[in-house]
Structure 1
Amino acid sequence: MQRDEEEQPLSGGNVSAGVVRVGNTVRRPAGPWTPSVHALLTHLHEVGFEAAPRPLGLDDRGREVLTFAPGHVVWPDRFSLLEPDRRLARVARLIRDFHDAVQGFVPPADARWQVLVPVGEQAGGPGEENEIIAHHDLAPWNLVADDGDRWTFIDWDTAAPGTRLWDVAYAVHGFLPLSARPGLRRADAVGRLRVFADAYGLDEAGRRTLVPLLGRRTRAMHDFLRDRAGRGDQPWSALWAQGHGGIWRDDAEYIERREALWERALLDG
């Protein structure tokens, strides 16, 4: 490796061990799912969706290589980039663009995916869990914004079969946010939920299905951390010990208690 391409560890998010920048690339530990994820990213760029890194194969150490997304991760220090509501609407449209772009993706015959939180019956109906290859972690901690007008979603390693609304429910939780914590709780959550749904282009059926998914998707994260911590799996055990499970549980309870409010926001003219 050349001297001007020294490795710079990258932080951010909750799972960043072994992630480094080398020049204009990012190197990450690869897994059995990496070829499938790279096929997905290649497809997205081929159909014109550019808000994702380009895959560049593997390096001589077996790490996956991706283009580096310049800018800063939105969460937690630059959440103001999602203000005013027109920027929240932009996030929703970007997610819709991804979902439309991935619709035509045909996974490799031997595709393998890293499935952390199975969708299953929680998706809203039998057989819907394979609607698309979803991102599964569309959140402000995975959105990079530069000083101009470029936004990029990163951390695609947990992309896997899922549904549009499973992705949307998770994104709504993080980008509005729908949080029980006093410092994050939004008095304008109802209005922001409507802005997000309108910008994404949710029809009435989608809105009705989304309402109960808001709580289910959030609670699924609590259950995932609880189960993985119970098995001693890292880094999930450490996150559970740090209280992340309790945060997801409290947020789920906050969302579930207000389900009628979210329904009025999305369905009343």
Structure 2
Amino acid sequence: MFIPANGADIIAHHDLAPWNLVADGDHGWVFIDWDGAGPGTRLWDVAYALHGFVPLSAHPTWRRTDAAIRLRIFADAYGLDEAQRHQLVPLLSRRTRATHDFLRTQAIDGVQPWARLWDEGHGDAWLSDAEYIEQYEQLWVGALVS
């Protein structure tokens, strides 16, 4: 487990993202890369998944004008209740910033592949995304609880 959550109600994947999803022929989709799985919370894993699948990104290539709608659809499909939706909003930026902080710490310690990812600019991207998520926090609240 790379970035622990506050709490543990499930064994979480901790890296639910498009780059860890593969097609299983005609049978559907399968998540791979379970090496970081460990105790965590549903909302911590959902917050990370939303970053990648909505996506919640400041990068012009990934930024979507329908991000709030996609956020709402994901939360509806996952079955989040109103209390969980309120809890989720601050986790969106916290989880994204935690990935930045993890990459920075691992780069300082020279741990691969994290140091390489840091050198390639992934840390800057995660920080930029966290700031973007924070900037539009009221939009996410409105999408999730209205």
Residues 1:248 and 2:134 aligned together: no
Give the distance between the partners of 2:68 and 2:5, measured in 1 at CA: 26
Partners of 1:263 and 1:197 in 2: CA distance: 12
Q: Which 5+ residue runs of structure 2 have no aligned equivalent? A: none
- Equivalent residue number for residue 163 of structure 1: 41
Equivalent residues, number: 146
The one-letter amino acid paired with 1:135 is: H
Which is greater in Rg?
A: 1
Normalized per residue, the structure richer in helix is 2
Tell me the TM-score normalized by structure 1.
Answer: 0.53
Distance in 1 (alpha carbons) for counterparts of 2:63 and 2:28: 28
What percent identity do the matched residue pairs reach? 66
- Using the TM superposition, give the Cα deviation of residue 146 of structure 1 relative to its aligned residue in structure 2, in angstroms: 4.1
Specify the SS of the correspondent of 1:137.
coil
2:9 maps to which residue? 131
- Distance in 2, Cα, partners of 1:214 & 1:259: 9
Partner of 1:108: none
Matching residue of 1:193: 71
| Distance in structure 2 (CA, Å) of the matches to 1:201 and 1:262 | 17
Deviation at 1:254, TM superposition (A): 0.3
Residue 100 of structure 1 corresponds to: none
Structure 1 residue 118 and structure 2 residue 9: aligned?
A: no
Query: Which residue in the other structure is 2:110 paired with?
Result: 232
Kindly provide the CA deviation profile for residues 111-168 of structure 1, in whole angstroms up to 9, marking residues without a partner as x.
xxxx211213xxxxxxxx1211111011100000145342111111111000000000
Deviation string, structure 1 residues 57-81 (Cα, Å, up to 9, x no partner): xxxxxxxxxxxxxxxxxxxxxxxxx
Counterpart pick for 2:85 among 191, 201, 207: 207
Aligned counterparts of 1:200 and 1:118: Cα–Cα separation in 2: 22
| C-alpha separation in 2, matches of 1:134 and 1:150 | 21
SS where residue 14 of structure 2 aligns?
A: coil
SS at match of 2:30: strand
Name the CA distance, whole Å, in 1 between partners of 2:11 and 2:24.
27
* Letter paired with 1:118: P
Give the direction of change, closer, same or farther, for the CA distance of 1:230–1:209 in structure 2 (3 Å limit).
Answer: same
Structure with higher RCO (Cα < 8 A, 6+ apart): 2
**For residues 149 and 195 of structure 1, what CA distance do their matches in structure 2 show?**
23
2:143 counterpart letter in structure 1: A
CA RMSD of aligned residues (A): 0.9
Matched ranges for 1:142-161 at <5 A: 142-161=20-39
The residue aligned with 1:68 is none
Give the equivalent residue in structure 2 for 1:182. 60
Q: Distance in 2 between matches of 1:119 and 1:130?
A: 7
- Aligned to 1:238, what secondary structure does the other structure show? helix
